Amino acid sequence: MGEQEFRLGGKQYTLSRRAVEEALSLVVPKEVRRYFILVSGHRYPPKQALAETLGLPLVSFTTMDANRILRTLGFELIRADAALGPPPRTESEQLFEEYLRVAGFTDFTFERDFENSRNRPDYCLPLGSGDVLFEVKEFHAAPGDVMPGGAYDPYRPIREKIEAARKKFKDFQDHCCALVLYNAERPLVVLSWRFIYAAMLGNLAIRTPIHVATAMQPTEAETGFANGGKMVQYRGQTPIAPQNTTISAILVLEQLPVGRRRLEAAVAAEEVQIGRELNLQEHLQRVEQARGTDRDVSLRQLRVVVHDNPYAGRLFPVDLFVGPYDERYGPAGGTISRTFAGQQIVNLPAERSPIAKLFSAKQNKDSASLTEQPVTPSGVLQGPARTREETRAWLDELAQFSDKIPPMPGETFSRQMIYQEHE
């Protein structure tokens, strides 16, 4: 259903169902009394839904107005006392429940009520050390995601989810709380560990010292984290204190393309052996030959990557989510490092995509050092230094981000396109 026009309070408005859903994506539902609408599996009172969408105070219109407009937009109004059965689950919630069950955690509860809060985090997992709360958020494609040109902020989508989780967890400082992220279909949302920590601690940046008098570079360039992090409070551009310490960790839930990675590694080894690159037809042949084997490009593995918040008030349990394909990153010895890797992920060939190689030049792929700030508790992440030549090579790699943008009709095939799943 497209846009609909209506009058409210003497003013003319144009609104669509999609606009309502997008406006509520970061809004915590209020208590439902008589009726509600379902948006992404969550129950919103009609007045709250319309007020948040239009930016109007609740007292400026009636519940009857809200019901009328939402029905026109195609929403179903559901009675709170109706026999609904289990609340519907989003794709990410279904996958997270599947992961929990496979990992042996079957006693979790969904949207449990709490005495001292109207908020209901998506999941509560009881452990011996206390309950762990999870808020599950997913990314979906939206108009304007793929732009013909201009700047793009890769951290904004992640930071929006962190902000939504902050609101949901605001009454649960005495609990261990984790945000779970899953990218269902949104392009240009990168959930690798460096981007997660950049969203938490500050934008990724390159610092290149230049000698003013000689215009020469006296020391090596270094990568690090600038400002804008959601876990850091700033005064101007200066970090002064931690914030959002209730969020113990950010978890990335993903279906790891294990078959594709094995096939890419096998093809790379074959190209080294024969001394040339395979052509398009040969690549497609390898894809067909790999069907039904451990190199089948459709073979995926559900897993979790844990990113500990260095400033968390409560630590995320160290023995939680340590499956054979799981990973964990966090502070260790003054650095942000990979602190756990399951045996299967250790044995799996490394990712060969441009994004995975972005920061690979002359540095351990699993760590980045912290700038020493003994007084300020909110230090800025900083990676190992690079030479001028390595910096140029790193900048050249940025051009390969174009491979992440869906091709326009008539464009040729890239290697990444060949190894996507084919029906």
Run of H or E residues at 354: helix 354-357
Query: Per residue in 37-76, pLDDT tens?
Result: 988 888 899 999 999 999 999 888 898 899 999 999 988 8
Q: Where are the beta strands (DSSP E) in 40-160?
A: 42-44, 78-79, 109-110, 123-127, 130-139
* DSSP-derived pairing of the beta strands 176-183 and 130-139: parallel
Run of H or E residues at 306: strand 301-308
- Region 145-170: mean pLDDT is 86
Q: How many CA atoms lie within 13 A of 307 on its CB side?
A: 22
Residue holding tokens 């219109």? 61
Residue 213, pLDDT score: 63
The model's confidence at residue 355, banded by pLDDT at 50, 70 and 90, is very low
Using the predicted structure, report yes or no on whether residue 266 has a pLDDT greater than 90.
yes
Q: pTM for the whole thing?
A: 0.66
Residue 137, pLDDT score: 95
The model's confidence at residue 293, banded by pLDDT at 50, 70 and 90, is very high
Residue 211, pLDDT score: 62
Query: Per residue in 403-416, pLDDT tens?
Result: 333 333 333 434 44
Asked if residue 377 lies in contact with residue 243, where contact means CB atoms within 8 angstroms, the answer is no
Query: Per residue in 13-23, pLDDT tens?
Result: 999 998 999 99
Residue 354, pLDDT score: 47
Query: Per residue in 100-110, pLDDT tens?
Result: 999 999 999 99
Angle of CA points 88, 191, 222, to nearest 5° = 160
Using the predicted structure, report yes or no on whether residue 369 has a pLDDT greater than 50.
no
The model's confidence at residue 340, banded by pLDDT at 50, 70 and 90, is very high
